[in-house]
Amino acid sequence: MDKRILILAGHYGSGKTNIAVNLAMNLRREGRRVAIADLDIVNPYFRTKDSLAELEEMGIPLISSEYANTNVDLPALPAAMYSVVDDRNSSFVLDIGGDDRGALALGRLAPRILEENSYEMILVANFCRPLTRNPDSLVEVMREMEAACGIPFTAVAHNSNLGEATTPSDVLSAVAKAEEFSRLVGLPIVFHSVRADLYPALKDEIPNLFPLNLQKKYY
């Protein structure tokens, strides 16, 4: 995870926003100069802006639409998003939309991201969601997003969960699907993630386990 740009993309409800926020905070704790950019123009329920106070407290700039957390759904992105490719002295975590339409916004930055070649494009996989319950359905979503944004995925983050109802067995039962998906697409699983309070019960069962502190809007 030493690339300058970390891109998190996944289908609706995959948990990509929670992972993006947690990764940005971890990078900041490591002393890196980091910003987080919400390029999701679809305006889902959970936005990076929900964590604005916590991000500001840690000195992490947030780039997001002025319409985030409103009932206005306009495909508008701020000019500041170009700092992702202009400011090469900073690291960036990008939260991308939940389908091919959401991934279109990333396409504006794709040529320069590819030119610099210091990025990870991480697909967040949640096999507890209705439209991605098996590896084959997730492959379809993945290919659609790649075609829309013009950047190939480089890795997988496994984040199967049922929100607050998640149990350790829910996570464990999905690990085999994540491994099958990894083999299907030829991409490594960079980590498995789990709600922080479940981490103690699973840390010896699942390798590369990343504990997540959920956004306050989930409570």
pLDDT of residue 125: 97
pLDDT of residue 69: 47
pLDDT of residue 71: 46
**CA count, 13 A, side-chain hemisphere, 40:** 29
Mean per-residue pLDDT for 180-205? 97
105-141 pLDDT, tens digit per residue, is 888 899 999 999 999 999 999 999 999 999 999 999 9
Q: How confident is the model at residue 219 (pLDDT cuts 50, 70, 90)?
A: very low
Residues 6+ apart with CB under 8 A from 163: 218
How many of the other CB atoms lie within 10 Å of CB of 193? 26
Angle at 52 between CA 35 and CA 20, to 5 degrees: 50
Can you give 100-113 as a three-state secondary structure string? HHHHHHHHHCHHHH
* Beta-strand runs (E) in the chain: 5-10, 34-38, 62-63, 91-95, 119-125, 155-158, 189-195, 209-212
Give Cα separations from 204 to 142, 197, 200 (angstroms).
30, 14, 8
CATH number of the domain enclosing 69:
3.40.50.300
Contact yes or no for 144/101 (Cβ under 8 A): no
Mean per-residue pLDDT for 211-219? 71
pLDDT of residue 64: 87
39-51 pLDDT, tens digit per residue, is 876 655 457 888 8
pLDDT of residue 41: 66
**What is the domain count for the chain?**
1
Q: Are strands 119-125 and 155-158 parallel, antiparallel or unpaired?
A: parallel
pLDDT of residue 215: 75
More confident call, 80 vs 179: 179
184-193 pLDDT, tens digit per residue, is 999 999 999 9
Mean per-residue pLDDT for 173-191? 98
55-110 pLDDT, tens digit per residue, is 999 999 999 876 544 444 445 567 889 999 999 999 999 999 766 677 888 888 99
Residue 54 CB-density burial (10 A; 0-12 exposed, 13-18 middle, 19+ buried)? middle
The residue among 1, 5, 3 whose CA lies nearest residue 82 is 5
| CA distance linking residue 27 with residue 32, whole number of Å | 6
Mean per-residue pLDDT for 138-145? 94
The residue range of the domain holding 155 is: 5-218
